Amino acid sequence: MAMQINSVEAKWLSPICSFVKTLYKSAHIPSHDISHHLRVWHICNNLVKRPLISQNLNPAISSEHLIVACLFHDTGLTVDKSERHGYASAKFCSDFFKKTPQLAVDNLRMVLYAIEHHDDKSIQQANFKDLPPELQLTRILSTADDLDAFGLIGVYRYVEIYVLRGIALHHMPAKVLMNIANRHKNFTNLVGVNTAFYQKHTRRYAVTVDFFKGLQEELNSGNDGNGQCTYFAKSIIHNVINKEYTIEQTIKNELVSLASYPRKNLFSQLKDELNQFTVF
């Protein structure tokens, strides 16, 4: 890509983040706030270096397109919690450029298309190299977003957004397992297997799968509330959603109050995952 990543971040991070933070002042969605967008950008920056992407990337796509798309893709959740939030996200992005005419990106329409359609998690079978640039950009953004749904960060994200969409806890495991399987399938189709990058994120995928399988077993056992997965999910619901604590405050409180190591371990793991991205 033409522009170096440091130059791109120097140009775009501050103005976009300042704008996006204003959108979240009246919306408490910490699992999909600016931190999520920054993680997706970090993941995207690594994703596009994979050979099957870098060797087939349309030259019409630049790192500027990628960073703008990443930093706006879920902002629509501040006004629309549904899977159709991409439309509102694209509108916020368009509004940003209208309010900051000193900044511009070529082919903004391509970026807006990717933002609007990023949440299509149906199986993507088309060969990446054969896609037009707007679909390549969409596929990259969607996959980077998918990878942030893996690990305990993914568990936290799923629990919060699914509850906000009215999905009861006992219905959640089956829905998550189907959704995340599609995400992993799309990731595999895009980057291929037998690479360290693939193995790393597949291990993270397994963490999410194992959690929701464990949650399903606990809920089915009738031992509701006593299992470590159930406790973790209910803590997110009670503290992050109902009390509107930050996830950091929730983790801190649980690590202080919990005596049981298995339960503390989940919160410790989530803390470690979140700390990996504090470079931003």
Q: Which of 148, 168, 192 is the last residue of a domain?
A: 148
Summarised one tens digit per residue, pLDDT across range 109-132 is: 999 999 999 998 766 767 899 999
230's tokens: 């159930």
* Number of compact structural domains in the chain: 2
Same domain assignment for residues 141 and 247: no
The residue with greater pLDDT, 173 or 5, is 173
Q: Do 79 and 166 have their domain in common?
A: no
Same-domain status, 36 and 173: no
Q: Does residue 94 sit in the same domain as residue 160?
A: no
Residues 96 and 191 in one domain: no
Q: What is the mean predicted confidence (pLDDT) over 84-93?
A: 97
Averaged over 53-68, what is the pLDDT?
97
194 in the same domain as 116: no
Do 121 and 184 fall within a single domain? no
**Residue where a domain terminates, one of 148, 170, 199:** 148
**What's residue 251's pLDDT?**
96
What is the CATH number for 116? 1.10.3210.10
pLDDT tens column, 163-217: 999 999 999 999 999 999 999 999 999 999 989 999 999 999 999 999 999 999 9
HSE (side-chain half, CA atoms, 13 Å) at 209? 13
Q: 255 and 134, same structural domain?
A: no
Are residue 171 and residue 141 in the same domain, yes or no? no
Instruction: Give the mean pLDDT of the chain.
Output: 93
- Regarding whether 113 and 173 lie in a shared domain, the answer is no
In three-state form (DSSP H/G/I as H, E/B as E, the rest C), the secondary structure along the chain is CCCCHHHHHHHHHHHHHHHHHHHHHHCCCHHHCHHHHHHHHHHHHHHCCCHHHHCCCCCCCCHHHHHHHHHHCCHHHHCCCCCCCHHHHHHHHHHHHHHCCCCCCCCHHHHHHHHHHCCCCCCCCCCHHHCCHHHHHHHHHHHHHHHCCCHHHHHHHHHHHHHHCCCCHHHHHHHHHHHHHHHHHHHHHHHCCCCHHHHHHHHHHHHHHHHHHHHHHHHHHCCCCCCHHHHHHHHHHHHHHHCCCCHHHHHHHHHHHCCCHHHHHHHHHHHHHHHCCCCC
The answer to whether the pTM exceeds 0.85 is: yes
> What is the pLDDT averaged over residues 157-166?
97
Q: Are 205 and 184 in contact (CB under 8 A)?
A: yes
pLDDT in tens, 240-254: 999 999 999 999 999
The percentage of residues in the chain with a pLDDT greater than 70, rounded to a whole number, is 95
Which residue is it, tokens 């990058």?
197
- Is there a single domain that holds both residue 164 and residue 120? no
6 and 71 belong to one structural domain: yes
Which of 148, 181, 198 is at the close of a domain? 148
Q: Which domain holds residue 144?
A: 1-148
Q: Cα separation of 129 and 57, whole Å?
A: 7
